[in-house]
Structure 1
Amino acid sequence: MEKKLEKQLSEEFKNMVDKNNPQSSIIKDCIFAFVIGGLICDVGQFFMNMFLSLGVPQENVGYYVATVMVFLGAFLTGLGIYDNVAKYAGAGTIVPITGFANSIVSPAMEFKREGYILGVGARMFIIAGPVLVYGISSSVIVGIIYYFIKYFAK
């Protein structure tokens, strides 16, 4: 009896979610993500060309561009522009480095009212923290595997 009621409630909940879930066009969403993500990359390319024309050495220009793009992502998040663009562009704004800046600044702004230590300091990496932990961990594992492959390939 209990399983039957649980199954019925589960189906009712699924129907309610399907009914209230906004329908989206996958093609339209992919096009927006592609275009906005491409525009973000174009901005990065613009800064890369600008820094190169100003005489920044080729091996250092990536650092400059990354710094500018993180600043722009954080600044636009602070103004509320980045999140509005992300509503339409989806993954087009999450994938570039500006998405990383957004994932740090958004929680910092949200928890600012809880104070700088327990709010901003404690919760700033709530979204980006797991990405950093697993990204760094997986890079270490890949590095170790690469080392052993190179070592035994001799």
Structure 2
Amino acid sequence: MDMANRTETEAQAYRDYVKKKTPVHCLPLNMAKAFFTGGVICTLGEFILNYGERLGLDKDVSGGWCCVLLIFLSVLLTGLNLYGRIAKWGGAGALVPITGFANSVAAPAIEYKKEGQVMGIGCKIFTIAGPVILYGIFTSSLLGLAWWIAEEMGVIQ
């Protein structure tokens, strides 16, 4: 009986420890933060697009400049160790747009630069972004093949 009591006491102590260490999240607050952060990034993108069009650039060129500037700002903020703080606060709102992808490439490059150009940056730069690129290309290839087969069968014209 003493052993069973001791085991139950240890189990309860462990449950208390886990409860104390597990972070408590407020889902509505996290969603609001993500919405706000993503909204600010997208608003900045729209500002760049509109400004480019006001300068006389056509929509495609303006869109290209928008991408370049958002990527540049993301990499700059990553280098200044600010993008991580933004992402921590804004969650998926900072990670989903193009800025999050640029951060996922720049952060490992900065982190592993001390290991050298080849073994550090070269090997680790796509640690986070690599699977996204791989599965993006793989999925695009499968969808392209399915589209071609559907066209050949006359399903799509």
Scaled by the length of structure 2, what TM-score is found?
A: 0.85
Separation in 2 of the partners of 1:36 and 1:144? Answer: 37
1:49-87 alpha-carbon deviations (Å, 9 max, x no partner):
011111111233222111111111111111111111111
Equivalence map 1:95-114=2 (5 Å): 95-114=96-115
Which amino acid in the other structure matches residue 108 of structure 2? P
List 4+ stretches of structure 1 deviating above 2 A.
14-19
Q: Which residue of 2 aligns with 1:138?
A: 139
Separation in 2 of the partners of 1:129 and 1:34? Answer: 26
Equivalence map 1:32-71=2 (5 Å): 32-71=33-72
Gaps of 5+ in 2: 1-7
Separation in 2 of the partners of 1:73 and 1:17? Answer: 36
Q: Which residue of 2 aligns with 1:122?
A: 123
Task: Point out the more displaced range, 142-151 or 90-99.
Answer: 142-151
Separation in 2 of the partners of 1:127 and 1:142? Answer: 24
Are 2:149 and 1:148 aligned? Answer: yes
Q: Which residue of 2 aligns with 1:91?
A: 92
Q: Which residue of 1 aligns with 2:5?
A: none
**Is the partner of 2:77 in helix, strand or coil?**
helix
The number of equivalent residue pairs is 144
How far does residue 17 in structure 1 lie from its aligned partner after superposition?
4.1
Q: Which residue of 2 aligns with 1:25?
A: 26
Q: Cα RMSD (Å) of the superposition?
A: 1.8
Separation in 2 of the partners of 1:60 and 1:86? Answer: 29
Separation in 2 of the partners of 1:114 and 1:25? Answer: 39
Which amino acid in the other structure matches residue 88 of structure 2? K
